[in-house]
């Protein structure tokens, strides 16, 4: 099977396999990325983030159908930190998203296991795979947007933050540092009580932040606000397309640095494993005859 050729034709089994490769097999991933890198970096990426249960998957399901009707070819990557524990969340997403799958949307869950760096590496390359297979936009669903989760807004072109009226801590969460990341703040489940109050307090609070985001209300249940949301998304996608080249250049700078630093770190780590000098100074530190700072200075001289 010629993976790259099948990918180019958008064959679903090839996409699934390629994403598994970039998630799990570094050596194969390098071979693959070498072949697909050249044309990458043009598809718009949309991050949809917020607490578990906020309605992100339902929202993406409906929105992607709308975008596809307008001629888009949407793919979804769902990053779920709980999926490796229960598997239940993945199944839930798959079940809820079958409708949009029928309309041509490709949906894939990614586990967020491992170091943050590994997740964003797999994510970046999964986006490349999906782009090569012809998808644009690529929507990334991520739980959280708190301090501990993968900071999705660094990876995507458009960030949507989803809240619900029935969770009393939402405005607290917003105050805790979310004002910087959203292009759109959605108060979803506006069919539930308290939506107007939350909308007002979010708008008041966000209004004070510099980057002029949009605050909207949606209900995926009653379809309220869904058309407006899709329209706003489209507007943002268009404007981001214009600045995409510059953004891609900045991201490649960060990516390259990340990889180089990681390579160097591994190299040095291996070197220390087999270094007599390191062993010697470690003994001194362990015997408390030398402090770690001074020992580290001496050991660092090993690296030219
Ligand atoms: N009342 C109401 N329930 C909703 C709405 N949107 C989603 N839900 C429900 O909220 C639950 C969680 O939805 P889901 O899309 O899985 O949330 P996610 O965890 O953020 O992806 C499901 O039972 C949905 O049916 C809405 O607008 N109104
Ligand atoms: Mg979900």
CATH of the domain at 139: 3.40.50.300
First to last CA, the chain: 46
How far apart are the C-alpha atoms of 104 and 87, rounded to whole Å? 24
Assess whether 227 and 282 both reside in one domain: no
Q: Which two tokens stand for residue 39?
A: 């044309």
Residue 288 has pLDDT above 60, yes or no: yes
Going by C-alpha positions, the residue among 15, 160, 136 that lies closest to residue 67 is 136
Residue 3 lies in a domain: no
**Quick check: CB of 91 below 6 Å from ligand 1?**
no
DSSP the chain: --HHHHHHTT-HHHHHHHHHHHHH-HHHHHHHHHHHSTT-S-S-EEEEEESTTSSHHHHHHHHHHHHHHTT-B-EEEEEETTHHHHSHHHHHHHHHTHHHHHTT-EEEEEE--S-HHHHHHHHHHHHHHHHHTT-BSEEEEEE--SSSS--GGGT-SEEEEEE-TT-TTHHHHIIIIITTT-SEEEE--TTSTTHHHHHHHHHHHHTTSTT--EEEE--TTT-TTHHHHHHHHHHHHHHHHHHHHHHHHHHHHHHHHHHHHHHHHHHHHHHHHT-HHHHHHHHHHHTTSS-HHHHHHHHHTT--
Q: Is residue 5 a part of any domain in this protein?
A: no
Q: What is the pLDDT of residues 189-210, one digit of tens each?
A: 999 998 999 899 888 888 766 6
Q: Is 83 in the pocket of ligand 1 (CB under 6 A)?
A: no
Q: Is residue 215 part of a domain?
A: yes
CA of 290 relative to ligand 2 center, distance in Å: 52
Does residue 303 carry a pLDDT above 80?
Answer: no
Protein residue whose Cα sits closest to atom 28 of ligand 1: 189
- Quick one: 127 and 263 in the same domain? no
Distance CA 224, CA 120 (A): 34
Question: Would the CB of 192 count as within 6 Å of ligand 1?
Answer: yes
> Ligand 1 centre and the CA of 53: distance in Å?
6
pTM of the predicted model as reported, rounded to 2 decimal places = 0.87
Lowest mean pLDDT among 37-51, 78-92, 249-263, 281-295: 78-92
- Both 227 and 175 in a single domain? yes
Closest atom of ligand 1 relative to the 219 alpha carbon: 27
| 113 and 149 inside one domain | yes
- Residue 42: is its pLDDT beyond 60? yes
Q: What is the model's pLDDT at position 297?
A: 95
Confidence of residue 154 (pLDDT cuts 50, 70, 90): confident
Q: Is residue 238 part of a domain?
A: yes
Question: Quick one: pLDDT at residue 53?
Answer: 86
- Residues 89 and 49 grouped into a single domain: yes
Q: How far apart are CA 110 and CA 90, in angstroms?
A: 9
Task: Report whether pLDDT(98) > 60.
Answer: no
Both 290 and 218 in one domain: the answer is: no
Q: Is 55 in the pocket of ligand 1 (CB under 6 A)?
A: yes
| Same domain, yes or no: 47 and 141 | yes
228-270, pLDDT tens digit by residue? 999 999 999 999 999 999 999 999 999 999 899 989 999 999 9
Range of the domain at 270: 257-300
The reported pLDDT for the residue numbered 83 is 45
Q: Are residues 221 and 272 in the same domain?
A: no
| pLDDT at residue 151, as a whole number | 72
- Write down the mean pLDDT value for the chain: 86
Residue 252 lies in a domain: no
Q: Structural domain tally of the chain?
A: 2
Residue 174 has pLDDT above 70, yes or no: no
How far is the C-alpha of 199 from the C-alpha of 244, rounded, in Å? 31
């Amino acid at each position: 099977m010629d993976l790259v050729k099948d990918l180019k034709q958008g064959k679903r089994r090839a996409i699934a396999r390629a994403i598994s490769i970039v998630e799990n097999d570094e050596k194969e991933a390098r071979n693959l990325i070498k072949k697909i890198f050249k044309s990458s970096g043009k598809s718009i990426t949309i991050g949809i983030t917020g607490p578990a249960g906020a309605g992100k998957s339902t929202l993406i399901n409906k929105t992607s159908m709308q975008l596809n009707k307008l001629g888009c070819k949407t793919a979804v990557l769902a990053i779920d930190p709980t999926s490796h524990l229960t598997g239940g969340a993945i199944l839930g997403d798959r079940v809820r998203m079958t409708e949009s799958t029928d309309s041509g949307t490709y949906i894939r869950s990614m586990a967020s296991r491992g170091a943050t760096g590994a997740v964003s590496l797999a994510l970046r390359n999964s986006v490349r795979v999906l782009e090569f297979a012809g998808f644009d936009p690529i929507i990334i669903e991520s739980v959280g947007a708190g301090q501990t989760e993968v900071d999705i807004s660094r990876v995507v072109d458009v960030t949507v933050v989803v809240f619900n009226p029935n969770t009393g801590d939402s405005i607290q969460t917003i105050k805790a540092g979310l004002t910087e990341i959203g292009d759109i703040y959605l108060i979803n489940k506006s069919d539930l009580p308290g939506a107007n109050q939350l909308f007002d307090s979010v708008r008041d609070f966000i209004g004070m932040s510099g980057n002029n985001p949009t605050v909207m209300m949606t209900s995926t249940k009653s379809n309220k606000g869904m058309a407006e949301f899709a329209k706003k998304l489209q507007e943002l996608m268009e404007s981001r397309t214009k600045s995409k080249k510059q953004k891609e250049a900045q991201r490649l700078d960060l990516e390259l640095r990340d990889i180089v630093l990681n390579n160097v770190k591994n190299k040095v780590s291996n070197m220390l494993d087999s270094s007599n000098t390191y062993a010697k100074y470690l003994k001194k530190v362990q015997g408390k005859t030398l402090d770690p700072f001074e020992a580290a200075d001496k050991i660092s001289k090993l690296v030219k």
